[in-house]
Amino acid sequence: MNCYEKIGLQRVINASGRMTALGVSTLNESVAKAAIEGGSSYVVIDDLIDKAGEIISKYTGGEDSCVTSSASAGIAISVAGIISKGKKSIIERLPDSTGLCNEVILQKGHVVQFGAPITSMIRLGGGVPVEVGMANSVAIEDVEQAITDKTCALIYIKSHHCIQKGMISIEKMVEIAHKHNLPLIIDAAAEEDMTKYIKMNADLVIYSGAKALEATTSGFITGNKTLIGYCKKQYKGIARPMKIGKEGIMGLLQALENYTNKDLVSYVKRQHEIVSYLNDEISKIKGCSAREIQDEAGREIYRSQVVIDEKNVGKTAVEIDKLLCEGNPSIHCRTHLLTQGILSFDPRPMVEGDKELIVEKLRKIVEG
């Protein structure tokens, strides 16, 4: 029985992924120990933020980095930093940016809901989102013709939530931004490569700590030293309610160290093995067919995608998902394609015995 069951909550099997709604990820012993040690002593927080930024940058290749409470906080802080340029009078009035250079351009296909609207994060930092192009097609001209003397930045959302076709590439967005002397922010919250976007000359790149890194609840912004300096100053303004504690920072630093030593071959092999088991067993269930798919955004993530034959099963994928979530254990799969009759199972968060319980419960729901 885990600690949540002890207080009367259901046991959760996470087959959805590194999802905030399910607690994102779990901590290994070394990260938990680092967090406990971090919480057991006092430190000057500003000094810790600076030192953490220095350490993080060794892993990312950024000139400097700023720790945050999450990737979404990183978006708001980045926008606020760019608008304020570290000026105290502006920091203290944000998110009210009336009369300032405050427009942030993003592609229409990147205006996504990830549990909250991406545009809300921009507005929290004082930014005014300017959506360009169409949901499935954006041209370079759409971006360039939206740039005015009120434009302060361009932002690119690298996420499976986004439309994956018809969008302008990161390389082109960097080119456009720098041609117009504007910074490009990349929200790379769940991305697994901590150096890729800095190498592509993005100015600020935002990562979640708790997703690919499996750290404590945390995040960071990495990139241009001047802009990072502006970001850090937001802790005297809008970032105050988004602050990260010393224990969270120390857990993040340990997770980064662990991540550089991660056996990626074994990591991917384990995914394939779990997915293979799920596909074989689920395809034996009446009206269900399963196959392996790769993550929509091209990450080294593999999942079991299950197509439900509604006529044969007598239930929709939406109804099956609801029944999976009910009872104990409560099983949560990926629901992005539910209305198309598709369930997906992500193997990464699964622990020993989870895959068997998923098959057993799905079979009972479908076959009775």
pLDDT for 299: 84
CA separation for the pair 319, 346 (Å, rounded): 19
pLDDT for 88: 98
pLDDT tens-digit profile of 276-286? 999 999 999 99
Calculate helix-pair angle for 225-232, 45-60, nearest 10 degrees: 150
pLDDT for 184: 98
pLDDT for 296: 81
Q: End-to-end CA distance of the chain, in Å?
A: 27
Backbone angles phi, psi at 184, to 5 degrees: -110, 125
pLDDT for 52: 98
Compute the C-alpha angle 120/177/90, nearest 5°. 50
pLDDT for 161: 86
Are the C-beta atoms of 49 and 272 separated by less than 8 Å?
A: no
pLDDT for 263: 87
pLDDT for 336: 87
What parts of the chain have a pLDDT lower than 70? Answer: none
Domains and CATH numbers, the chain: 3-23+263-367 (3.90.1150.180), 43-260 (3.40.640.10)
Q: Which 8-state DSSP code applies to residue 305?
A: E
DSSP 190-208: T-S-SSHHHHTT-SEEEEE
Q: Please count the CA atoms within 13 angstroms of the CA of 229 that sit on its side-chain side.
A: 8
pLDDT tens-digit profile of 68-112? 999 999 999 999 999 999 999 999 999 999 999 999 999 999 999
Q: Model pTM?
A: 0.91
CA separation for the pair 188, 295 (Å, rounded): 15
pLDDT for 264: 84
Beta-carbon contacts of residue 176 (< 8 Å; ≥ 6 apart) = 140, 143, 144, 154, 168
pLDDT for 214: 95
Beta-carbon contacts of residue 147 (< 8 Å; ≥ 6 apart) = 105, 180, 182
pLDDT for 266: 92
